[in-house]
Amino acid sequence: MDTDGKKALERDEQMIQAAYQDLLNGYLRSNHRKKVEIIERAFRFAKEAHAGVRRRSGEPYILHPIAVAKIASQEIGLGSTSICAALLHDVVEDTDYTVEDIEQHFGPKIAQLVEGLTKISGGIFGDKASLQAENFRKLLLTMSEDIRVVLIKMADRLHNMRTLGSMAPNKRYKIAGETLYIYAPLAHRLGLFAIKTELEDLSFKHEHPDIYKEIDAKIKESEARRAAVYTDFAGPILRKLDESGIKYEAKARLKSIYSIYNKMEKKHLPFEEIYDLYAMRIIFECDDQNKEKAICWSIYSAITDLYQLHPGRTRDWIVTPKANGYQALHLTVMGPDGNWVEVQIRSRRMDEIAEKGFAAHWKYKIGEGEEESELNAWLKTIKDILDNPEPSAIDFLNTLKLNLFATEIVVFTPDGELVTLPAGATVLDLAFHLHTEIGLHCIAGKVNHKLMPLQTELKSGDQVEVLTSKTQAPLPEWAGFLVTAKARTRLRKGIRALRQPMVIKGNEKLTRWLAEHDINDSNFVITKLQGIFHAENREDLCYQLGADEIALGDFLIKPLKKAALQTSKKSTGTSLLSKIPLIGKMVAQTPAEEEEKPAEPINTKQIYRLTTTDSGPNYTMSDCCNPIPGDDVMGYVNDEGRVEIHSLDCPRAQLLKAGYGSRIVATEWDEDIRERFMAHIRIEGLDRRGILQELTHLISIHLGIDLRKLDIEASAEVFHADIWVRVNDADVVSDLCSRMKNISGVTRATRIH
């Protein structure tokens, strides 16, 4: 080996040893029993197993397991068993070693964790799985065996997100999308608030790098002004707490970039009008858990003596913690600058649980505590979803999302039993929560002794009695009354059981008819039929046939045979998208020409250029988010084989990234796109004579923009207008909004996505 090669190896070795020592130092500072010897053995074993292997970024692979172990130890608070499992988590997946080898060297506990991590690792970052939903299903199933598996997986995902820059663009979109859609809510549900916030920010940074940089720069620019405002607000509180003799730490907690962006989008506000950029957090020291509540309320009293309280924004999560174990007292008061400021009051124990989640619970737990029963109750709900899987990946992810991200309410049964449900839950949700049969036969509820329909939304503190009838049967429209994933899953299962005889009958009809007309029973053919009859899936199609709601006729033969022909041609492909209709040059052809010319495959690893030819665009615009050139967009290969364009943060796109990663295509707009696109702008201002004329003159005459629709309403000297214009790109919309704001009386003009 030459001198340069030796120096490179020495640099790698120094880097590896420094990273490992950093991990070890953090572990030695923790409260865990010091089992350094087994961690040392796990490190040497993993280092040897991954020797010579590098990550996409070029660094030695062993640095990844070390980083995951460090996150598990220092940011989640796990001990030596989890550190060893994190160091070894890729050994079985990526080398010749087996789970039995791990057990022989490190014992059954570590081997069990490594096996759990191996089961859920294949495919999430590779090309092995076309549907990420199956990986999430495996991930959640392992929770019931050992919650540490999913905590280490969260550490693994966080490190992958921190090093995502070395991935191809379409992979970045896929990983960032599934992180934002599933992993961040999962971190939230496990009480890992710090990790949840970082995952959201990193996902946003990779999907919208320019907007991320812009907000980050504005935060830094306004730092001095914010610090001065915080000092004015906090000063009197700190003096009062010092006088009381309470030992505490006070700090300003800045909103994350992702949450600032979300607020700007939802409220249609510029950055300068987001006033609640920070909250004050007071963390007090208390050795006796029984005294925490009294100290919280004494601090609350001190603050409300100084500042005006917002009556509707006090949150007491001490007596009734959130389902993820979060405890704190929140209040909102009017600051000296006239803006509302949130103050969060926690003990040191509560703060650790808020940041590190269930791992911190174990540190403070005395016997079988309430926190453990909360965790078990939630895991039972997850298991219930997994035992009754949804028919499609998208449905599964939606159902899972419902159960991950929800604020809670607390209601009581007639016997005084306390039931925790997501905010917005209805009488029907409670019925299904109590028992499947109660839900399926629910007719109404008595809420606080008053008869109410089953769609009635419940509020915290309600006492609810569920009324049932043996003659009641579940209806599909009930799904619109349900908020909880458990209830939706059980309702679908109940309806499916009732519909099954008709589904079987319809399936027999369909199979017989296809055979009689020599048409293959393929996905393409069934998808075509679903589109014609507006059926959600094959089961729905068969039900309609079995119930004689629809009939198969000769008019279907020609289009179905054409679909079957497409299937046979496309099934010969061997590319990554072999199970997906291939994308070709989208040119106008006669049916005969289409049969002769096979579609050209597309390389999803390359950037797909969105352009327009004489034959039209080589893409399809989605109607769920209506993106225009200049927006951050991605492509999705739909069932018809077209590249469907979505805005990156469109809700539908979030689902597609999380559920169909291998169909995602990174895209860029061609500079010469000849199409015009519809954009929606909302205008607000003070009403005056002639303002509408000035707006339309600016749009149509001065700027020459095609105005397609206008909806305006004036009330009490204030007007609101929605306009739809046809434009070439997003810059035209930004310029139009900027010019509108210069018109006297217009206070706001923003694009609505």
* DSSP bridge pairs for 609: 668
**For the residues of 208-243, what is the DSSP string, one character each?**
-HHHHHHHHHHHHHTHHHHHHHHHHHHHHHHHHHHH
H helices present in 268-347, as ranges? 292-306
370 Cβ contact list (under 8 Å, min separation 6): 321
Q: Which of 94, 265, 684, 694 is catalytic?
A: 94
Q: Which two tokens stand for residue 279?
A: 């909250």
CA distances from 25 to 28, 148, 667 (A): 5, 22, 45
d(CA 213, CA 219): 10
- Is residue 94 part of the annotated active site? The answer reads yes
d(CA 111, CA 96): 15
SS3 131: coil
Q: DSSP code of 60?
A: B
**For the residues of 443-509, what is the DSSP string, one character each?**
EEEEETTEEE-TTPBP-TT-BEEEEE-TT----GGGGGG---HHHHHHHHHHHHHHHHHHHHHHHHH
Total Cβ atoms within 10 A of residue 733: 23
d(CA 124, CA 510): 36
Nearest one of 146, 87, 152, 153 to 125, comparing CA atoms: 153
Q: Which two tokens stand for residue 361?
A: 């619970």
- Is residue 40 part of the annotated active site? The answer reads no
**C-alpha 233: how far from chain center:** 35
CB 170 within 8 A of CB 656: no
CB 245 within 8 A of CB 271: no
* DSSP bridge pairs for 253: 279
Q: Quick one: three-class SS letters along 554-600?
A: HHHHHHHHHHHHHHHHHCCCCCCCCCCCCCCCCCCCCHHHHHHCCCC
**C-alpha 500: how far from chain center:** 33
463 Cβ contact list (under 8 Å, min separation 6): 411, 412, 413, 414, 447, 448, 449
Q: How many Cα neighbours within 13 Å face the side chain of 548? A: 0
d(CA 434, CA 429): 9
370-387 vs 132-141: helix crossing angle, rounded to 10: 140
Q: Which of 22, 93, 146, 675 is catalytic?
A: 93
Nearest one of 705, 735, 729, 725 to 610, comparing CA atoms: 729
Q: What amino acid positions are annotated as catalytic residues? A: 93-94
